[in-house]
A and B are shown apart, each in its own frame.
Chain A
Amino acid sequence: MPRLLQICRWLCCTIFLLPISPAIANDYAAMSHDKPYPFGVLNQRSVTLTAEYWNPILRYVSQKSGIPLTLRIARTANETTDMAVRGELAFVYTNHLFTPGRDKLGYTVLARQEGEPIQGQIVVATNSPIQDLAALEGQKVAFANPYGFVGYFVPMDKLLRDKVTVNPVFMGNQEAAIGQLRAGRVMAIGVNHKAMADFARREDFTYRVVWTSEPYFDLAVMAHPSVPAKLREKLRDAMVNMKSDPEGLAALTQAAKALELPKPRGFVAATDRHYDNYRAFFRHTLVPLDNQ
């Protein structure tokens, strides 16, 4: 039965992808020889910082794998995701494609950045009277944006499941939301636990975690279904072995320097299975997905 369901899923995907396949095919037809493959990156930082981080990596991977890559990035995360949805990207580093609607596009996971999984948290100031989620009823709770997974969907889903109605405010990015909490303008924030910890350590800010979600792997490097398997493997191998290669390590070090990271972060191999909890979450979340 599961096998049947899997077949049906594939069929549905195939049927769904048929109308857009010519466009993708056209893209790759043009790119396959002369033009590099577009490698999209979800906006987590400014466009320039994103480019400074990813360009050394992509240059190394292109050289190592023989797959010419070019960084593609849009103004916003949504626009970048839209580019992926429109099939304009051969590869994409994202976690926005696990919603039921986008999961059907057929992007497959090739690798992910090494490191601990991320968790969503609802935190308050250390001296806050808030002791549990119920106390947030009717309070202003800040989020980075309405698209972040652990930064919005996960904590908001928790609040909705606990039937705690809050007044959400979006501050643009994680640290802006943390700044609102620090300034006392909001009672609590929904935030990526790693971003929260980095900020607290850097700014010597103490906080209290009211709730923490289950762990989720960070963003995945995914390939468009039209990308040949051989290329996918080449790309995966280049990325996974990057840290062990001095040249790759140098590229990672250069990238880490752009973000002022304490140490370079390499890539590890990953599969769709490692991101099933994403898919499960989206299937059952109470947060409206707006046809995503």
Chain B
Amino acid sequence: MSMSAWFHNSSLTSRVMLALVGVLALAVCVIAVLASQAAGRQINQSAAREADLVAQTVSQAITELVILGDFPAIEQHLRKRVTQTDIHWLRFTDAQGQVVAAQSPPQPVKHPAWFSRLLGVETHSAASPIEAGGAVYGTLSVRINTLEAESQTWTLAVNAALLFTLAVSLCAMVIHLIVRKNVQGLMAMRAMAEKLERGDFAARIAIDTVSPPEIRETAGLLNYAVNRISELMAEMRRMAFHDPLTGLPNRRAIEGRLERALRLAREKDQTHIFCYIDLDQFKIVNDTCGHAAGDQLLAQLPQILSPLLPGSAYLARLGGDEFGLLLFDTTMRDAEAIARKVIDAIHDHTFIHGGHSYQLGASIGMTGITRDTQNESEILAQADMACYTAKEAGRNRSHVYENAQSGVRALQEEMEWVSWFNEAMAEDRLVLYRQRIDALNDSSGASHYEILLRIRRYADVIESPGPFLAAAEKHGLSPELDRYVVRKVCQWLAEHPHDPATYSVNLSGLSLSDEFLLDCILKIMDTYQIQGNRLSFEITETAAVQNLTHARRLIEGLKARGCAFYLDDFGKGMASFSYLKQLPADYLKIDGSFVLEMLRDPTDYAIINAFNQIAHDLSRKSVAECVENPYQLDKLREIGVDYVQGFGIHRPEPLPDLKCAAESIAA
């Protein structure tokens, strides 16, 4: 690892310690060099003084011997003196040049040569003449040995270095403790950041009183920020897993609970029950009273249901008017009892809005969660299918999912139709037929046709669209299908501009709630330049009632363009005169079930008569469907019905000259 990389990765404590120890080391090195030079100067000065002093004292000491000319005694004296450690050698040279000298024995050098160079020690010699009464007898020379002083200085330096090392170590320890204490706050911040990274938002910095004020303040601010983030995250979590309208857990939340229930079922062999609650008639409240009222009703439900549920029950809103109820560790019998209470409570609840009271119902699909259950999606799908079965069975009831139930098979078939729908749209496998509607009392000769849909799943096989249309309606595909048919009819009309008949197209209930449908139809008509009197539309009474507001707007919009409107299947649903009054339809199509039995059942005859009368009273034309024979035709003429339609009048036929599928059928 390079130095820079090491420094980059080193901690704050290491950096501070490195800097301080480096500065200390540098300072001590400078001091050591200066001290060495000072010591060297001291040694030089001492040696110089020593040399002079030794020269003088020795010369004085040997003066008498010199005067006596006692050279052996002089040599002995010099030898004795050089045993002193600081004298390298002594030399006496008499006037005649005779030399007597003594040298100290070699001394072991205890220090390295570079140290002597660092000290800057010089050679120190001195000479002193020996004279008496003006007569010079000779000269005494001396050289001072500084090795001992250098060695002592070296020993001192080594000891100082050891002391310095010890001092630096102690200093480093103290600095480490101080810095560590000071950066403890930073370490606490780092620890908290790591915990936050792991998702532990309960982590907080313990603010000590030892750390510097700026670190304490920063720690306090960070704690405050984390508190706020935790609060916001809790709020986000609550929003992510709760429905803001009802305050109940949402679909995502209950999916997590389902996962947990599934795990418990596998681990502890428990059985849990999941209930899929779907409100009946909620759409009526929503459409007639507005979404605000619908929301108000939904918001009341938790208060209605919560008292009925055990403590371990988990109630959630899945979306729209659908709720999920998870009952932990219970039996299907107990769950059915609870479901019954829920149904009754919802049914007994009266919602009052705008001076009107509304009663709802609920259908509940139930399924067990056992160790054999595959996954959460399967739980939801089973409960949904069971709920559908309950609705099909007449609403306001619960149904327990069974693997082999017929409802499930039907649903599976529906799903097949749904999957085939896209294929049919892409490959143009939908075929348009027409069935004429004859006028009984109109001599104008104007003809009317109803556009009927047929499907061709297999080559040369035309099938009734019943199951297909039901699946499309249930799974939200009807609007797309309706637009397809409108576009095809308009295209055909554009290709047959001289055809005098009026063609009516059926619109599904879901299309009525499609706020873009009106614009879409008008745009198609504009595209093919279709006059409004060539096109009319049919909507069922039930669909119109359930989407009253949208239906009215759609009818009025298309009537403004000159299109006529049929209220289809009248009498099959509510047959509410109040709604009829609000719907500006031109034709009232009496449901065919009455026509089929009118010859045998006087009630049906009376109903047809009443419906016909109401239509006329409301300035609408009446149309009787499913007319199959002349007897029915006579009776209808007798009643005064304006138009008739049925196999007895005209069998449906492919739309002439219709391209694509129609041509292949004709072939």
Contacts and interface: CB of A to CB of B under 8 A. Distances in A.
Interface of A: 46-48, 50-56, 58-59, 71-75, 254-255, 258
A46 B68 CA distance: 11
A56 B64 CA distance: 17
Nearest to A55: B133
5 contacts: A48-B67, A55-B133, A58-B135, A59-B135, A73-B68
Interface string B53-71: 0000000000110011100
B132 A55 contact: yes
A46 B135 contact: no
Classify the interface of chain B: helix, strand, loop or mixed.
Answer: mixed
Interface of B: 63-64, 67-69, 132-135
Contacts of A72: 69
B64 A53 contact: no
Contacts of B64: 46-48
B235 to A, nearest CB: 113
Nearest to B67: A51
Contact of B67 (A58, A73, A258): A73
Contacts of A46: 64
A248 B64 CA distance: 25
A172 to B, nearest CB: 16
Contacts, number: 39
Nearest to B137: A51
A35 to B, nearest CB: 10
Contacts of B63: 48, 51
Nearest to A54: B133
Contacts of B134: 55-56, 59, 254
Contact of A52 (B68, B69, B132): B132
A55 B134 CA distance: 7
Contacts of A47: 64, 67-68
A119 B132 CA distance: 31
A255 B133 contact: yes
A254 B68 contact: no
A52 B134 CA distance: 7
A46 B135 CA distance: 16
Nearest to B69: A72
Q: Tell me which of B68, B69, B133, B135 has the highest count of chain A C-beta atoms within 10 A of its own C-beta.
A: B133
A53 B610 CA distance: 180
A258 B131 CA distance: 13
Contact of A53 (B68, B69, B133): B133
B62 to A, nearest CB: 11
Contacts of B135: 51, 55, 58-59, 71
Nearest to A57: B133
Contacts of A51: 63, 67, 132-133, 135
A40 to B, nearest CB: 12
Contacts of A53: 133
A47 B65 CA distance: 9
A288 to B, nearest CB: 29
Nearest to A72: B69
Contacts of B69: 72
A258 B132 CA distance: 10
B542 to A, nearest CB: 155
B133 A75 contact: no
B611 to A, nearest CB: 169
Nearest to A257: B133
B633 to A, nearest CB: 179
Given A51-B135, A59-B135, 10 more contacts: A47-B67, A48-B63, A55-B133, A55-B134, A55-B135, A56-B133, A71-B135, A73-B67, A73-B68, A255-B133
A270 to B, nearest CB: 23
Contacts of A75: 68
A74 B73 CA distance: 13
A58 B132 CA distance: 12
B430 to A, nearest CB: 151
A258 B69 CA distance: 21
Nearest to B64: A47
Contacts of B133: 51-56, 59, 254-255, 258
A45 to B, nearest CB: 11
A71 B132 CA distance: 11
Listed from nearest, the 8 A-B pairs whose CB atoms lie closest are: A55-B133, A51-B132, A55-B135, A52-B133, A47-B64, A51-B67, A52-B132, A56-B133
Contacts of B68: 47, 73-75
A71 B69 CA distance: 10
Contacts of A255: 133
B646 to A, nearest CB: 171
A62 B13 CA distance: 90
A41 to B, nearest CB: 10
A51 B131 CA distance: 9
A59 B132 CA distance: 12
A255 B67 CA distance: 16
A54 B135 CA distance: 10
Nearest to B63: A48
Nearest to A51: B132
A56 B136 CA distance: 11
B65 to A, nearest CB: 9
A58 B134 CA distance: 10
Nearest to B133: A55
A53 to B, nearest CB: 6
Nearest to B132: A51
